[in-house]
Amino acid sequence: MLQPEQFRPGMRVVTPDGQRIGNVDDADKYGIKLARDSTADGEHHYVAADLVDRVEGDTVHLNRRSLAVMQGHGRRSGAASLDLHRLLPWILAGLLALILLVLLLKDRDRSAPAPQAEASAAPAQPAVAPVALPNGKTVELAPDTLPYDVQAYLASQEPAPHTFSFERMNFDTSKADIRREDRDALNNLARVLTAYPNARIRIVGYTDSTGGELPNQRLAYQRARNVARALADKGVDEDRIEAVSGGESNPIGSNQTGQGRFENRRTELIVLSR
For the stretch 178-229, pLDDT in tens is 777 778 888 999 999 999 999 999 999 888 888 788 888 988 898 889 899 9
Scanning the chain, the segments in alpha helix (DSSP H) are 64-111, 146-154, 183-194, 213-233, 258-264
For the chain, percent of residues with pLDDT exceeding 90? 34
Q: Judge whether 241 lies within some domain.
A: yes
- Please check whether residue 140 is in contact with residue 147, taking contact to mean a CB–CB distance below 8 angstroms: no
- CA distances 271 to 10, 14, 147, 167, 237, Å, are 37, 34, 12, 16, 14
pLDDT tens, residue by residue, 28-64: 877 888 888 888 888 777 788 888 899 999 999 998 8
Domain total of the chain: 2
Domain of 268: which CATH number?
3.30.1330.60
- In the chain, DSSP finds a helix count (H) and a strand count (E) of 5, 12
Q: Name 12's Cβ contacts closer than 8 Å, sequence gap at least 6.
A: 20, 23, 58, 59, 60
Cα gap 6→56, rounded to integer Å: 10
Q: Judge whether 116 lies within some domain.
A: no
> What's residue 107's pLDDT?
64
Mean pLDDT of the chain: 81
Cα gap 138→191, rounded to integer Å: 9
Considering 24, 50, 66, which residue would you say is the last residue of a domain?
66
H/E element, 55: strand 52-56
Whether 139 and 253 share a structural domain: yes
Highest mean pLDDT among 18-22, 27-31, 85-89: 18-22
Left (φ > 0), alpha (ψ -120 to 50) or beta: where does 93 sit? alpha
> What's residue 168's pLDDT?
59
Check pLDDT > 90 for residue 84.
no
> What's residue 114's pLDDT?
52
Q: What is the mean pLDDT of residues 94-106?
A: 78
> What's residue 69's pLDDT?
66
**DSSP 3-state assignment of 60?**
strand
* Domain housing 195: 129-273
What does the DSSP 8-state code read for residue 161? Answer: P
Q: Judge whether 200 lies within some domain.
A: yes
Q: Judge whether 231 lies within some domain.
A: yes
